[in-house]
A = this chain, B = another copy of it.
Amino acid sequence: MILNGYEIAEKRREQLKEKIEELKNLRIIPKLAVIQVGSNDASNIYIRNKKNTCEKVGIEFELYSYEETITFEELKEEISKLNKDKKIHGILVQSPLPKHLNESEVFNVIQKEKDVDGFTTENIGALWNNKTGLISCTPKGIITLLKEYQIKIEGKHVVILGRSNIVGKPLALLFLNENASVTILHSKSKDIKTLTAQADILVSAVGKPNLVTKDMVKKGAIVIDVGINRIDGHIKGDVDFESVSEIASYITPVPKGVGPMTIESILENVIEAIELQRQKKKDLLK
């Protein structure tokens, strides 16, 4: 069965629109600020997509572009202004940044209640402690997708291919918080197939087309494909969809699987950010 991320995202987007309407009745207009340093084609496409999706659901979008030569101190100053700006509820820094800027240092300037990417150390700490915080969009989207299909996670053995800070590691924590057993594999792992073939839920977040083949998957497993590989103008995942879909009980396609759920999670995080900021204000007034 196909885990239709596109359809689920559409459905949740309708629910989100209602929430946004309610906020507008309270005279709160959700707004996302995206920071771009320099420019490259891929980033431009991502940013344009985010802009379109935001505007479709009624989230204001503003792009802050800076020269490639901006210093960390200057960028810090700019982000600090956005942190203080009450009209802005979410802040995203578009990767990649020029080499002279340290990504995690830049992310950590963002106020945790506006960090809709969930990349700040404070939000990772929240995930670590299984407490309220903003969660990275791809991992969050994957868990949401499984829950929408009422797939039980507790007690399942999850095998994750890839240990990045953006997907692999936060996803491992999320699955642990959902009481799954978790295995993380990566480029230095040996005998990958033995472990993937035991997974109840197999996630590939590597970026290698056809990395996951039928012989690596247990019959009836749930297969989540995070890979986005561009080949001859087409987009392909990490999973050999045709053969693996023959034995998987559930599988995400690429495109229209995890991708739309990631975008949906950004939107949901903007609305969650508003709630966190309102809660913080209440706590301060106590």
User: Interface of A with B (CB < 8 Å)?
Assistant: 104, 121-122, 124-125, 128-129, 154-155, 157, 163, 165, 169, 172-173, 176, 179-186, 188-191, 194-195, 198
**A contacts with B: majority SS:** mixed
CA distance A179 to B185 in the complex (A): 9
Question: Do the beta carbons of B129 and A189 come within 8 Å of each other?
Answer: no
A154 touches B188 (CB 8 A): yes
In the complex the two chains form, is B189's CB within 8 Å of A128's CB?
no
Closest CB in chain B relative to A286 CB, distance in Å: 14
- Which residues of B have CB within 8 Å of A186? 176, 179, 181
- How long is the Cα–Cα vector from A165 to B184 in the complex, in angstroms? 18
Partner of A183, one of B121, B173, B183, B191: B183
Q: Which residues of B contact A189 (CB under 8 A)?
A: 155, 157, 181
Q: Are A165 and B128 in contact (CB under 8 A)?
A: yes
CA distance A202 to B179 in the complex (A): 20
User: Which B residue sits closest to A104, measured CB to CB?
Assistant: B129
* Cβ-defined partner of A121 (8 Å) among B125, B180, B191: B125
29 A-B residue pairs with Cβ-Cβ distance under 8 Å, sorted by A, are: A121-B122, A121-B124, A121-B125, A121-B128, A124-B124, A124-B128, A129-B165, A154-B188, A155-B188, A155-B190, A157-B189, A157-B190, A163-B176, A169-B173, A169-B176, A172-B172, A176-B184, A179-B186, A179-B188, A181-B183, A181-B184, A181-B186, A181-B189, A181-B190, A181-B195, A182-B183, A182-B184, A183-B184, A195-B198
Known: A121-B128, A181-B188, A195-B198. 17 other contacts (CB 8 A): A121-B121, A121-B124, A124-B128, A125-B125, A128-B169, A154-B188, A155-B188, A157-B190, A163-B176, A169-B173, A172-B172, A176-B186, A179-B188, A181-B184, A181-B189, A183-B183, A183-B195
Query: If the complex has contacts A124-B125, A124-B128, A125-B121, are A181 and B176 also in contact, measured as CB distance less than 8 A?
Result: no
